[in-house]
Amino acid sequence: MAEIDSSAPFETAQVETAEFENVVCPLCGLGCDDLRVRLDDSGVEVTENGCDLSRRGFAQAPPGTRATPRIAGASAGMDAALDRAAEVLREAHLPLIGGLATDVNGARAVMALARKSRAVIDHMYGAGLFRNQQILQDDGWMTTSLTEVRNRADLVVVAGARAFELFPRLLERIFNPQSCALAQDTQ
């Protein structure tokens, strides 16, 4: 996991201490939805139900910071920065929007922007997406949700050398349904 660049254009802001329940973790494919998180001037801390991956990831959030808009390297107001960004997009012949490390709402906003600006989208995991699409075309694909596994499976076989490294709470999320928001009591 990459460290946050402390020289990035951030300005300090006062952050009111707050605790949040049922926070969704974005750091692996499980989407654990039962984290308890505390936010204060020192940063973001997972206080309950987190794994090592989530604790490290949330701890990297810059404490009490917010991004500062810049134009040509100089600080600028938000309105001026948005105006300049719109101008750059209008003048572009074939803009490229890359990265896309965002949630569903962010992806929807990017798609709307791409439609309006005739942009090409290149997701940071595009190679994996295309590989998976090829598998789907060639051989078919079956998927299920953790809720379905939790409520219906009588045997779970986990294959792969790094399954528990990539998904640290996998077994907990399958066999301990009390810890998640959508659990059903099947007993």
Q: In 3-state terms, what secondary structure has residue 99?
A: strand
Which pLDDT score, from 0 to 100, does residue 4 have?
A: 40
Which pLDDT score, from 0 to 100, does residue 89 have?
A: 94
> Which residues in the chain land under pLDDT 70?
1-15, 62-66, 177-187
Q: Note whether 46 and 37 are within 8 A (CB).
A: yes
Q: What is the pLDDT of residues 128-169, one digit of tens each?
A: 888 888 888 899 888 888 888 888 888 988 888 898 899 999
Which pLDDT score, from 0 to 100, does residue 6 have?
A: 46
pTM over 0.85: no
**CB neighbour list of residue 30: distance below 8 Å, 6 or more residues apart:** 146, 167, 169, 170, 173
Q: In 3-state terms, what secondary structure has residue 74?
A: strand
Please tell me what DSSP assigns to residue 61: S
- Cα Dmax for the chain: 62
CA 79/CA 82 separation, integer angstroms: 5
